[in-house]
Each structure stands twice: as structure tokens, then as C-alpha cells.
């Protein structure tokens, strides 16, 4: 097993590759007039379009859900919710832009476990504080990652992949979307559990990463179901396992979990809605109520099921507590995985 320092030297930075995949909902979710009167003291909100910053390139799990949630919010609030993709720097670019925006309810941010927790632990310095600079609004959903390989990789199972990787250390490459992200953490946890050395290739987002895996330029990736599973169903990628605690039978029938090979291996990432710190409580409460209604949508529930994800309603306080607890808990996990702050 290579040391963290030597592995850092081996990392490659991949530039943006092919054109990003665009999800069918479109860049802006446009709707007619509001369907209900503003409640809870947030009189007059909203009266203009809302910007929804998503720290991913178009396509992929987070972006797909953001567009579905944005469409649902727009329909309920009576104003356009415009998706603004800001990928890069392991989500720090989008998070920093959101943190510096006015706390008026017209800038929302897709806060993720990677951006608000893992990134904060993996990097020595960030242009934002995950607790002080954001107002929690609601959990949105959680999802496992799927270990997918290019068809040229001969392995048909996790055990076969491990055998190949042990036979050729540093030969097989794995795509991630940046240091400290869930895709990076999953790959490092896998290396440590399996006792193998993979060549890590870092991208600015899921779309360019999965594009290079599809093209065979990178051998494998731990990725969300939105971008990975459609290609698995088309035979363009092969899924070997998921990082879920239990099998996701509707999304990937018969697919085993990594925990079936390595008991205790589990990583399910979450996504939530936050806003700049100082957002007035009446607006927080209004948005939380509307999100809960959006989460009941049959369209969103079906999207989640097909991607192996779970919709997670919550209070603002529950999201805030989760962020604080995971900052503590994952510091130990990442230390045990050999990830040093960069």
C-alpha cells in the first residue's frame, strides 16, 4: 500500500473532457403565478427569480435532483428557480459564491456531504465555514455510490477486480471529482480495505469524469446512480457493487454491495438545501414547508427510486445537527482512511 504522500504525487489532474450531459429538466424551471399566499411572516417573498447554485457540472446525481427540486419549488413559489452550475475545487467554488451572497432568500445552494463536511476536513483552508456561513433549510435525499468499470476491465465482481489490481499495482485508474469528495473517499476506503493501489484521476465534476470512464481513458469510478446506472443498463459500463448498506433492488436488481465482500463498508452520501447565513426565519420556514411538499411529488419519488436514492425530509435544525456531527465523525473516518488535509 503506497503512503498518502506518494499517492498524492501519483494523482493526475484531468481537464474537462467531453461536453457535459444536460438533464432533461432544462437550465431554468419556469412556472406561472403562485398557487398559494405567502405565510409565516415572509410577506412578499418571493417576488423575483431565485438562483439555485449547484456545485456540479450538468448531468449526474446532484444536478439531476437539483433540477427536479428546482422545478417543484418554482411551481409552488410562483417564481422561476434558475439552476446555476458552479463546479470545481471539490465544490468549493459554488459554496464560496453562495456563502458570499445576500441572505435574502434569492440565492439557494445545494449543500452536500462532500461540500459541507468532507471538503472541510480534507482541506486546510476553505473560503467558507460550513457552519457559520450557511443557514440550513432541509435535507433533500441520500444515495449510495455505484462502483462501475469500463467493459474492457475483465472483472465481473469486486473480488475479480481486486485480483486484477493486486496483479498490476498503480495500473488501474479510478476517476474522482476532487480531493475530499465522496467519490474520492469511497475510492480511498476501497483501496485500504482491499489492499490495492489505484491511480486516482481528479475531475471538476461527474460529467467529464464519467465521460472518460465511458471512453476507456479511466478504468472505473464510484458514482451516483443518475449518471452511472443508465450506462450500465445500456451495456456501456459494468456495475460491480454499490456502497449501500443493503442492495438497491429497484435501481440495480441483483447488484451486490461492497459490504458483502468487506463487512462494514458503507458510504451513503446526502444532499441538502442551505442558504447564506442570516436568512430570516420566516423565509427558512416557508422554504422548508415547500420542500416537504416537493418531496411528496410522485415524479421526485420515482426519480429517487430509479436512482437508488432515498428522499429525506427534515427540519432545518436536523440538517444543522447532521452537519456538525458529521464534521466530527468523518474527521476520524478520513484519518483512518489515510487522507491528510491538503
**Same domain, residue pair 217 and 79:** no
Residue 341 lies in a domain: no
* 200-240 confidence digits (pLDDT tens): 999 988 889 999 999 999 999 999 888 899 999 999 999 99
As a whole number of angstroms, the distance between CA 236 and CA 39 comes to 49
CATH number at residue 189: 3.40.190.10
How would you class 28 by CB atoms within 10 Å of its CB: exposed for 0-12, middle for 13-18, buried for 19 or more?
A: middle
243: number of CA atoms within 13 Å, CB side? 27
Average pLDDT over every residue of 165-191: 92
Q: What pLDDT does 57 receive?
A: 85
* Cα–Cα distance for residue pair 230/59, rounded to 1 Å: 12
Q: Evaluate if residue 338 carries a pLDDT over 80.
A: no
The answer to whether position 199 is within a domain reads: yes
pLDDT per residue as tens digits for the range 192-208: 999 999 999 999 888 89
| Residue % of the chain over a pLDDT of 90 | 66
Which residues make Cβ contacts (< 8 Å) with residue 300, sequence separation at least 6? 68, 69, 72, 294, 311
What are 271's strand-pairing partners?
112, 141
Counting the structural domains of the chain, the total is 2
Quick one: pLDDT at residue 32?
39
Kindly state whether residue 178 falls inside one of the protein's structural domains: yes
pLDDT of residue 303: 87
**Any domain includes 277:** yes
Same-domain pairing of 133 and 151: no
The tally of CA atoms less than 13 A away on the side-chain side of residue 136 is 23
- 67 inside domain: yes
Domain identity same for 174 and 316: no
Q: Which residues contact 24 (CB under 8 A, 6 or more apart)?
A: none
Q: Parallel, antiparallel, or unpaired: how do β-strands 238-242 and 146-149 relate?
A: antiparallel
Q: For position 144, what pLDDT does the model report?
A: 94
Q: Are residues 130 and 191 part of one domain?
A: no
Residue 21 is assigned to a structural domain of this protein: no
* Contact call for residues 183 and 222 (beta carbons, < 8 A): yes
pTM score of the predicted model: 0.75
| Residue 138 and residue 154 share a domain | no
Q: Are residues 139 and 284 in the same domain?
A: yes
Q: In the listed set 196, 228, 260, which residue is the last one of a domain according to the structure?
A: 260
Domain presence at residue 342 = no
Q: Are residues 303 and 319 in the same domain?
A: yes
Task: Among 260, 283, 298, identify where a domain stops.
Answer: 260
Please give the pLDDT value at position 31: 41
Domain boundary at 260, 293, 309, which?
260
Residues 85 and 52 in one domain: yes
150 with 247, same domain: the answer is: yes
Predicted pLDDT at 15: 38
Same structural domain, 253 and 305 = no
Task: Find the helix or strand (DSSP H, E) in which 162 lies.
Answer: helix 158-167
Residue 132 lies in a domain: yes
Closest CA to 117 of 100, 138, 92, 98: 92
Residue 8 pLDDT exceeds 70: no
CATH code for the domain in which residue 101 is found: 3.40.190.150
For residue range 278-333, list pLDDT tens digits in order.
999 999 999 999 999 999 999 999 988 888 888 999 999 999 999 999 999 888 87
CA-nearest of 337, 4, 338, 11 to 202 is 11
Same-domain status, 254 and 278: no
The CB density around residue 238, as the number of other CB atoms within 10 Å, is 18
Q: Are residues 52 and 34 in the same domain?
A: yes
What is the sign, positive or negative, of the torsion defined by CA atoms of 163, 224, 305, 244?
positive
Give per-residue pLDDT as tens, 131-155. Answer: 999 999 999 999 999 999 999 999 9
Domain that holds residue 10: 4-16+145-260
Amino acid at each position: 500500500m503506497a503512503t498518502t504522500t506518494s499517492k498524492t504525487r501519483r494523482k493526475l489532474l484531468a481537464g474537462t473532457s467531453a461536453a457535459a450531459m444536460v438533464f432533461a429538466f432544462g437550465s431554468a424551471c419556469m412556472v406561472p403565478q403562485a398557487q398559494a399566499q405567502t405565510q409565516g411572516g415572509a410577506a412578499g417573498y418571493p417576488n423575483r427569480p431565485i438562483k439555485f447554485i449547484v456545485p456540479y457540472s450538468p448531468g449526474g446525481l446532484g444536478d439531476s435532483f437539483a433540477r427536479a427540486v428546482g422545478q417543484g419549488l418554482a411551481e409552488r413559489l410562483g417564481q422561476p428557480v434558475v439552476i446555476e452550475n458552479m463546479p470545481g475545487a471539490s465544490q468549493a467554488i459554488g459554496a464560496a459564491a453562495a456563502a458570499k451572497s445576500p441572505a435574502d432568500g434569492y440565492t439557494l445552494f445545494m449543500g452536500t456531504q462532500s461540500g459541507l463536511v468532507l471538503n472541510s476536513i480534507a482541506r486546510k483552508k476553505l473560503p467558507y465555514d460550513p457552519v457559520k456561513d450557511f443557514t440550513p433549510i432541509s435535507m433533500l435525499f441520500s444515495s449510495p455510490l455505484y462502483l462501475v468499470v469500463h467493459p474492457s476491465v475483465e472483472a465481473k465482481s469486486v473480488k475479480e477486480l481486486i485480483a486484477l489490481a493486486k496483479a498490476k499495482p498503480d495500473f488501474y485508474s479510478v476517476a474522482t471529482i476532487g480531493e475530499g469528495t465522496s467519490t474520492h473517499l469511497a475510492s480511498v476506503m476501497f483501496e485500504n480495505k482491499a489492499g490495492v493501489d489505484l491511480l486516482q484521476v481528479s475531475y471538476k465534476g461527474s460529467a467529464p469524469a464519467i465521460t472518460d470512464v465511458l471512453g476507456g481513458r479511466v478504468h472505473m469510478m464510484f458514482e451516483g446512480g443518475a449518471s452511472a446506472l443508465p450506462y450500465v443498463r445500456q451495456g456501456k459500463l459494468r456495475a460491480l457493487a454499490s456502497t449501500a448498506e443493503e442492495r438497491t433492488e429497484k435501481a440495480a436488481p441483483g447488484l451486490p454491495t461492497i459490504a458483502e465482500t468487506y463487512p462494514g463498508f458503507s458510504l451513503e452520501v446526502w444532499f441538502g438545501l442551505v442558504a447564506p447565513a442570516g436568512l430570516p426565519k420566516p423565509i427558512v420556514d416557508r422554504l422548508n414547508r415547500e420542500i416537504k411538499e416537493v418531496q411528496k411529488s410522485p415524479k421526485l419519488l420515482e426519480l429517487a427510486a430509479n436512482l437508488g436514492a432515498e428522499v429525506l425530509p427534515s427540519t432545518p435544525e436536523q440538517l444543522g445537527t447532521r452537519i456538525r456531527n458529521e464534521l466530527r465523525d468523518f474527521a476520524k473516518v478520513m484519518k483512518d482512511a489515510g487522507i491528510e488535509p491538503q
